[in-house]
Structure 1
Amino acid sequence: MDRIRLEDKERWSTEYKIDKPVLEGSGVSDSYDAWAVDCPFVFYHKDRFYMMHIGFDGLGYRTALATSTDLINWKKEGIILDRGEDATRWDHVGAAGSWILLESNDLYELPRLKKLDNKYWMIYHSYPEYGYEAGGAKMGLAWCEDDSLLEWHRLPDPIFTYENGGNWEQAGLYKCCFVEASGRYWMFYNAKDQSEWPWTEETGAAVSDDLINWTRVSAEPVLRTQANTFYSQYVSDPYIRYDRGAELWVNFGFGFDGRHAQGLLAVSNNLTEWHIGSEPSIPVGALGQLDETHAHKSSVLYWKDRFYHFYCACRPAGPDDPAIIQESYGEFRCIALATSVPIEERSSEGER
């Protein structure tokens, strides 16, 4: 398998973009989402859809939940991982939730949470300094017993760090995902090679028997950048599910070429050898559209014969935008949605 077959690429296509955010920052001072929302992770729990997401308030990331009954209209429910009061902790600046352990890898099943030792388990990353992704991030594990999913507890120490990794990850880690395969847990994560721009971000893999002790599959990345492509600078933010019909693992990640971040599609038979599509799966939009600058950081699910592809959309800020990332020269960053089948009407009910 030296490339993604055309018929496979089309089976995962989500070309119909909704032209309004499904979730956006509040712009309210001191709120978790004062400047932006980012990094959706969508799942089904207790008869509702949930979107774990992060907000940026100018100091760091904080993790929150939103709920929906239709995947279109979302209501913010509250913060689940906040800034810590203990300045001696490694994660006191903030916590960015990436993934919660799921019952199944199946792309065509609704993603439902799995309990292990009567707990739900979330992996998150945290940066050591205040500011926008300042310093090298490490990964931690949090757990929750309550089905409301609003009260999470963090393990005291990181479970995965960059210090003992390869040269390609020596400047810090980013978001990741979990899958279960061959009787083990697999973590896919991206990391950067140096702290000063231009750095490179690539995706690596590690395995574990208990979610706490991890061993890298290789000293090298399993998904690498390639010159003269839309992923020449980054291959980042893996979101991996299994397509039983195609008999392939599918990664809805993103690539970056130094100008635009765009959705990336990669497939694998064995989780270690990956083949990346030559064209973006979610391309950036035209001038003035939500994703004019970036279309990246995916969360994908299948419901009622339609793929819903949530992603982070970015464009230059406008005068009416409620939340703006000042450190990115006036960027509007929100969570957007693309689908495999058009949604004819968008209800005005509910909170966006």
Structure 2
Amino acid sequence: MNLLDYMPSRRRFLIGSAMAGGAAMVAGCARGAGGGPGGSGDPIAAYRTPYKYGQLVLEGSHREGAFDQKAVDCPFVFYHDGRFNLLYTGWDGTGYQTGRAVSDDLVNWTRAGIMLARDPNDPVTRYNISCASILRENELYSPGRLIRVDGRYLAAWHAYPSPGYEQGAAVIGLAWSDDLVNWERTDPILRAEDGADWERGGLYKPYIVKDGDTYLLYYNAKTTGNPWKEQTGLATSKDLKTWTRYPGNPIIRNGEPGVSGDSWFASDPVVYTHQGEWSLFYFGRAKDGKCREYLALGDDPLHFDKVAEPLIDIGAPGSIDEHFAHKPSLVYHDGALYHFYTAVSGKYPDDLRGITVARSKPW
């Protein structure tokens, strides 16, 4: 499919006005009626997960020298070999590496070790490598079963070039595996210096999707300078080697300064389909410095309308997500939609960063 084949299929019924330089905001629209399983008159019922678990399901291991000693971040949940799997980024004070955990119930997780480790001999991944996604089924109401490409699993990662917390302009690459344990990394496929101004500061979390014969790689990126801004765009490919940035990037832009919850960051996209509708979950960061989970909906994988309200808001003072509720990953299990995210509480640099979950039915 050609990029030009993706065209909005109908005029959307919007409430509210277009964001400055960004996607339209919707407070409710003539889409998604009936919601998910069970039905509802709420136009975004299929996407709501209001019931927070209230505790971390995974946090830093606190083991001296471990790759995830200090914190865990960036969940990606999928189903494989009869169990749920959780990819996560571990932070040891030097850089990022990617770990995996397994669970039967999506709440109790057992660490399964490093999945992608940094390589001291590789100038790209000598300090960091964070695997943000593996190609999986697109359907929102699914357990997220993996999809093989020519018999192998396909993952997308990003890596920062310098030691420290997100230091330098990160690049994006792919990796291949037969068993989810041993991975063969490609050279970077996207670099910040090849992009537009909105992404020259560095590339962040890549999320890979396949639609027909086209691969879609969603990612967020930042501007240069400090403070920077983050927005979300995508690149496409037919062969996983030649990638073309979408000319309409960024597809999720910062909202109105001082007003919108994503006026500073519109980041960490994950994308699903449900009943013919495309959903893009992301987090926004606003003037108050807090991070919240947001949602945008579309008729195709390129054009999205933002939902005005936060999908998951920060918690009360003293709660595990009092500062940040961000970085989504969703799966469906046992009659409920589970929305995993990174929660942050406490005071930097001694804050607590870990992974928690909310779902569509009470606990």
Moved >4 Å (runs of 4+): none
Question: Which string of whole-angstrom CA distances, capped at 9 and with x for unpartnered residues, describes residues 314-334 of structure 1?
Answer: 0115xxxxxxxxxx4221100
The answer to whether structure 1 residue 131 and structure 2 residue 164 are counterparts is yes
The answer to whether structure 1 residue 17 and structure 2 residue 71 are counterparts is no
How far apart are 1:74 and its partner, in Å? 0.3
Moved more, 10-19 or 277-286: 10-19
Counterpart pick for 2:229 among 200, 205, 226: 200
For residue 234 of structure 1, what is the aligned residue in structure 2?
Answer: 265
For residue 349 of structure 1, what is the aligned residue in structure 2?
Answer: none
For residue 75 of structure 1, what is the aligned residue in structure 2?
Answer: 110
CA distance in 2, matches of 1:55, 1:112: 23
Paired residue secondary structure (1:168) = helix
CA distance in 2, matches of 1:230, 1:222: 16
How far apart are 1:153 and its partner, in Å? 1.9
Counterpart pick for 1:331 among 338, 351, 358: 351
Paired residue secondary structure (1:163) = helix
Paired residue secondary structure (2:317) = coil
Paired residue secondary structure (2:182) = coil
TM-score (norm 2): 0.87
Q: Letter of the 1:252 partner, please give it.
A: F
How far apart are 1:193 and its partner, in Å? 0.8
Contact 2:123–2:161 (8 Å) recurs in 1 = no
Question: Which string of whole-angstrom CA distances, capped at 9 and with x for unpartnered residues, describes residues 129-158 of structure 1?
Answer: 000000110011111112xx2221212x21
Contact 1:135–1:195 (8 Å) recurs in 2 = no
Moved more, 135-144 or 109-118: 109-118
Paired residue secondary structure (2:193) = coil
For residue 243 of structure 1, what is the aligned residue in structure 2?
Answer: 274
For residue 132 of structure 2, what is the aligned residue in structure 1?
Answer: 98
Q: Letter of the 2:126 partner, please give it.
A: H
Q: Letter of the 1:94 partner, please give it.
A: N
Q: Matches of residues 1-352 of structure 1 in structure 2 within 5 Å?
A: 1=12, 2=14, 3=26, 4-5=28-29, 7-86=42-121, 88-102=122-136, 104-146=137-179, 149-155=180-186, 157-197=187-227, 199-218=228-247, 220-227=249-256, 228-244=259-275, 247-258=276-287, 259-316=289-346, 328-343=348-363
Where does the alignment leave 5 or more consecutive residues of structure 1 unmatched? Answer: 318-327, 344-352
* Paired positions, count: 325
CA distance in 2, matches of 1:220, 1:299: 23
Where does the alignment leave 5 or more consecutive residues of structure 2 unmatched? Answer: 1-11, 15-25, 30-40
Contact 2:68–2:91 (8 Å) recurs in 1 = yes
Q: Letter of the 1:96 partner, please give it.
A: S
CA distance in 2, matches of 1:305, 1:84: 41
Q: Letter of the 2:251 partner, please give it.
A: V
CA distance in 1, matches of 2:226, 2:240: 31
For residue 347 of structure 1, what is the aligned residue in structure 2?
Answer: none
TM-score (norm 1): 0.90
Give identity over the alignment, percent. 38
Paired residue secondary structure (1:7) = coil
For residue 321 of structure 1, what is the aligned residue in structure 2?
Answer: none
Question: Which string of whole-angstrom CA distances, capped at 9 and with x for unpartnered residues, describes residues 2-57 of structure 1?
Answer: 32437232221111111211101012221111110000000000100000111000
How far apart are 1:281 and its partner, in Å? 0.3
